[in-house]
Amino acid sequence: MMRQAGRYLPEYREIRAGISSFLEFCYTPDAAVEVTLQPLRRFGFDASILFADILVIPDALGQRVTFKEGEGPVLEPIRDAKGLEILNVDGVIDHLAPIFETLRRLSVEIPKTTGLIGFAGSPWTVAVYMVEGKGRTECERARAWAYRNPDEFSKLMDVLVDATSRYLIEQVKAGAEVLQLFDSWAGVLSVSQFKSLVIEPTRRIVENVKASAPDVPIIGFPRQGGVMIPEYVKQTGVDGVSLDHSVPLDWAMREIPETCVLQGNLDNRVLVVGGDALDRAVDDILEQTRDRRFVFNLGHGIVPQTPPENVGRVIDRIRGKR
């Protein structure tokens, strides 16, 4: 469940309150292991996903990243070729050592039958934060830069492909059994930029990771990718794809080959509402995907005001029906 550990759980908020900076939280194995395990204890999910953040990559590359209470991440933005000069790929793996330690401990601590999922942000989405300085609905500066000077923007994407590939390969060495790439801002792009900034960098990361870890499944999540999702699957070579709640499942099952596992699609707002509306939404997904391998999941991140009992209700309903 995206994101499985987090602000909807009181036991998470308690740990979080004891650590001043969010990045320090991600880099403290004791804390990161504990909050990764919390939802497993509560709900017994079939898989656990590493607790970390997609912005550890710009942080590890040398960009200044902070998280402000109630505001989300704030980065010292990079807006030109000169800004790119501060980025240094060579230090990334050392900088992220605590995250690999978290994974090593998790691979011992979680039940043998529970999957361990590592993850990273996709280059486009990470680049949006790096260029805009924060999450921005329109991603206008990043989109404009990529139109104005595609060669310069490619340098940023190259750095991110390289750093992210190394990061994911190291996650596998530390115990990750599945990897997921989050491209939360994929949906804002024109078709031509979706091809060059979402599909192509993702394809290169999949190629790099597969060269080192051919058997580790990779799940892509081009959020709001809509019509482009089948081409994304075909060109990138991902083994699974996470679908946001705007994607009709019958269409996805027709357009995406069975070799690619489907995941997601539950509206995070119906999970907040709960009750009959939630039951109907869960049943609808189960019914539609009856004849296909499917990973039940949200279509986008769980929101803090989600009542934890609604998550339990979903789990019970799925288990009751299979």
Catalytic residues: 3, 7, 16, 53, 129
Nearest distance in Å: CB 38, its own copies: 25
- Of 15, 92, 96, 228, the one binding its own copies (CB under 8 A) is 228
Neighbour-count burial for 277-303, b at 16+ CB within 10 Å, e otherwise: ebeebbeebeebbeeeebbbbbbbebe
Residue type, 50: L
3-state DSSP assignment of residue 212 = helix
Please say which residue, 52 or 270, places its beta carbon nearer to its own copies: 270
Residue type, 117: I
Binding to its own copies by residue 151, rule CB under 8 A? no
- Of 116, 189, 197, 241, the one binding its own copies (CB under 8 A) is 189
How far, in Å, are 23, 72, 132 from residue 68 at the CA level?
11, 6, 16
**Locus of tokens 């009959």:** 276
Binding to its own copies by residue 148, rule CB under 8 A? yes
DSSP type of residue 301: P
308, 8 contact by CB (below 8 A): yes
Please say which residue, 94 or 276, places its beta carbon nearer to its own copies: 276
Please say which residue, 155 or 195, places its beta carbon nearer to its own copies: 195
Nearest residue to 271 via CA among 321, 315, 220, 240: 315
Task: Return the half-sphere exposure (C-beta side, CA atoms, 13 A cut-off) of residue 176.
Answer: 27
Nearest distance in Å: CB 277, its own copies: 4
Binding to its own copies by residue 224, rule CB under 8 A? yes
Residues of this chain, 259-288, that bind its own copies according to CB under 8 A? 267, 269-270, 272-273, 275, 277, 281, 284
Instruction: Return the range that interacts with its own copies (CB under 8 A); candidates 56-64, 66-74, 145-153, 159-167.
Output: 145-153
Binding to its own copies by residue 303, rule CB under 8 A? yes
Instruction: Return the range that interacts with its own copies (CB under 8 A); candidates 35-43, 106-114, 222-230, 314-322.
Output: 222-230
Please say which residue, 47 or 272, places its beta carbon nearer to its own copies: 272
